[in-house]
Structure 1
């Protein structure tokens, strides 16, 4: 199955929901798994150091488990754009840093490895580089997570076009319902989904309903019921 880069149409589109759900699904099928989030802002101070809930969620679904620092080597406290948080912390990563940080985990060749980005496809990493450059440097196929809400058609199509323009394969897309009002009219909801299916040149890996209750692990297990694993082809 291999490794994939997970990006979203926007911040809070549901990247971690989909990534953790796919990892949970792979675990249910007795596959080895690994979730990585190389750069994360909005981290909490703990006795063990800065910790990000999304990175912790990915780590919980990784088997065998690995140290937190392997999952999230660049952690920042402010809940702002990663490049701004990094600048404030005085620890600004480059693509070379991230390639080096992910080299050993990728070499493990677990059955399913997911590298989750931050924000959308074009989120800056530093003054000169985008985080999308990591997927390009690693030549990873991309899974696009679409936050299902008004405006998602434009965001999804632009993101897919940018991914393909960067020379990468869109391995699949998944929809995550973040605005319940978007699905109130069933006819319009299905029409929007049909438009996504017709315009995105990639298979749909699933549609996740609104999942608010439960722990991150419980939500990952629930999300897995609505997802299918990407094809290695």
Structure 2
């Protein structure tokens, strides 16, 4: 897979950290990796966007350059923390279209071994005024989509809706990764572990511990293999994880 689209069931659930872990594992194996962010919102000039954060954690290279680390490319940046289409309109700037994303990704794929496209928010967040979405970009590319989900109460509905939207468009769901697994999971988190794959219609391929984005980059790179399954280049064991954290036996009655 030379191109992987990383989407989420919502915002602030760990997409950037999962993207960084994917990049770190590929880079450690000697692959040339670039993180493509179609539309960065809510970040001002000179501030690090999601792609730059992911690259810093994974092994920073240049901004679409020839460095020895993970490179980055943003297609557009809008100052307000809104959906890309809305942020572009309010800024009076041209939006990014799915075709723009596809064209950029195809070009990068001729220069890099792995192109990671990190979306904004969920799969169907609008990129432009014509209703174009990350799903449309994935369809143009024929690229698989990795879904990042939260483990908490309410996630199953979001995961199932995302999975159904992908299947309805004929897109391949590579799998689902838990983007922020808590140190002390509650009942809802433990119960959800066994159902995420079924809701997504794709395998559970990892769980990134909550707070991993705050690790020193050296520690992040060293630990990333423990968070993602072999299908994504890591050593994480889904069966062992589910056995350890599946729902506890219901309390007895009487």
- SS of residue in 1 equivalent to 2:150: strand
Tell me the TM-score normalised to structure 2 length.
0.78
The residue that corresponds to 1:67 in the other structure is: 64
Q: Give the superposed CA RMSD.
A: 2.7
Asked if 1:124 is matched to 2:120, the reply is: no
Larger Rg, first or second structure (1 or 2): 2
- CA deviations over 1:33-77 (Å, ceiling 9, x no partner): 22111111011222xxxx443121233336764438961021111
- SS of residue in 2 equivalent to 1:45: coil
Unaligned runs of 5+ in 2: 66-70, 234-254
In the TM superposition, 1:43-122 aligns within 5 A as: 43-46=43-46, 51-60=47-56, 61=58, 65-67=62-64, 71-91=73-93, 92-110=95-113, 112-122=114-124
- SS of residue in 2 equivalent to 1:148: coil
The residue that corresponds to 2:245 in the other structure is: none
- CA deviations over 1:164-222 (Å, ceiling 9, x no partner): 111111011101226667x133xx53321101133332222211121157357357424
Q: Is the 8 A contact 1:171 1:230 kept in 2?
A: no
The residue that corresponds to 2:33 in the other structure is: 33
* TM superposition shift of 1:114: 1.0
The residue that corresponds to 1:227 in the other structure is: 228
Give the distance between the partners of 2:181 and 2:88, measured in 1 at CA.
28
Give the distance between the partners of 1:37 and 1:192, measured in 2 at CA.
30
Q: Which range moved further: 21-30 or 195-204?
A: 195-204
- CA deviations over 1:81-105 (Å, ceiling 9, x no partner): 2111111222222223333333311
Q: Which has the higher contact order (CA 8 A, sep 6+)?
A: 1
Distance 1:220 1:145, change over 3 A: farther
The residue that corresponds to 1:155 in the other structure is: 158
Unaligned runs of 5+ in 1: none
Q: Is the 8 A contact 1:57 1:217 kept in 2?
A: no
